[in-house]
């Protein structure tokens, strides 16, 4: 450490370079953690948008298509009909597949399978 830096310490007060270094590192870490928390909080909504098979997800997806494709009113109406058919088909396939899987599982396995599905919906 230079003598100029040591000269800034108030007379009669000892300077502890290790303590100063440790406090500086701790301060940088805490600032980084706080900034990370703020960024994650702000980005959380964009990262966890509703899935397309929910009403909110369907509306969000349709709005995006309307905007990005610049659909005419007639195209919007047709697109809505096509997407509704697709979502109905998707739900039917999902439901049928789930029923088929549950048929081959034991009661204990069905409970575990239900738990796995619930975890997947939370993510």
SS3 28: helix
Please count the other Cβ atoms lying within 10 Å of the Cβ belonging to residue 65: 16
Q: Are residues 40 and 96 in the same domain?
A: no
Q: What is the pLDDT of residue 81?
A: 93
Q: Are residues 70 and 96 in the same domain?
A: yes
Q: Are residues 58 and 95 in the same domain?
A: yes
Give the count of domains, the chain. Answer: 2
What tokens were used for 44? Answer: 């959380």
Q: Are residues 95 and 114 in the same domain?
A: yes
Question: With a cut of 70, which residues of the chain have pLDDT below it?
Answer: 1-12, 42-49, 52, 123
Domain that holds residue 24: 1-48
């Amino acid at each position: 450490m230079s003598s100029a830096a040591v000269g800034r310490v108030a007379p009669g007060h000892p300077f502890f370079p290790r303590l100063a270094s440790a406090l500086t590192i701790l301060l940088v870490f805490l600032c980084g953690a706080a900034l990370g928390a703020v960024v994650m909080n702000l980005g959380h909504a964009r990262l966890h948008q509703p899935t397309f098979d929910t009403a909110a997800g369907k509306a969000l997806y349709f709005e995006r298509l309307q905007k990005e494709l610049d659909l005419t009113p007639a195209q919007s109406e047709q697109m809505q009909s096509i997407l509704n058919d697709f979502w109905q088909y998707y739900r039917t396939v999902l439901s049928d597949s789930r029923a088929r899987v549950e048929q081959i599982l034991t009661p204990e396995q069905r409970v575990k399978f239900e738990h796995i599905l619930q975890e997947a919906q939370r993510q």
